[in-house]
Amino acid sequence: MTFWDFFWLMMSFVLYVSYLVVLFLIVKDIFADSTRTGWSKAVWVLVLLFLPVIGGLAYLIAHGQSMSLRQAARNDVAREDFDDYVRRTAGTNPAEQIAQAKTLMDDGALTAEEFTALKQRVLRQ
């Protein structure tokens, strides 16, 4: 095997793996899109099974922009969930939260009912 044979073998392998990644991303997007009907999903999967290159290109042309927007929205939701989790777990302890709420109630920013509700919520965590 010469250098060029090896080079083209590696290039073919990289292109094949890239192609498979794109197909998996398309299939993931098809099933993750809640606005698409079941029949539409079935048709796209059949097209990808029987005409994978043409079907993949057609899907990317028809839905490429919305595909990236849906992925960005999913990433935003995941980031917000993670940030919320970090805030909840790394936040102040319950005694500090109740003390802060008591200070707010004393300043008149919270009513007694709001303070009681907040205290109950903090104690349930």
- Kindly report, residue by residue over 37-61, the tens digit of the pLDDT: 999 999 999 999 999 999 999 999 9
82, HSE (Cβ side, Cα atoms, 13 Å) = 6
Residue range 71-113, pLDDT digits in tens? 999 999 999 999 888 777 766 678 888 888 888 889 888 888 8
pTM of the model: 0.61
Q: Decide: 55 and 48 in contact? Cβ < 8 Å.
A: yes
Q: At what angle do helices 94-107 and 112-124 cross, to 10 degrees?
A: 170
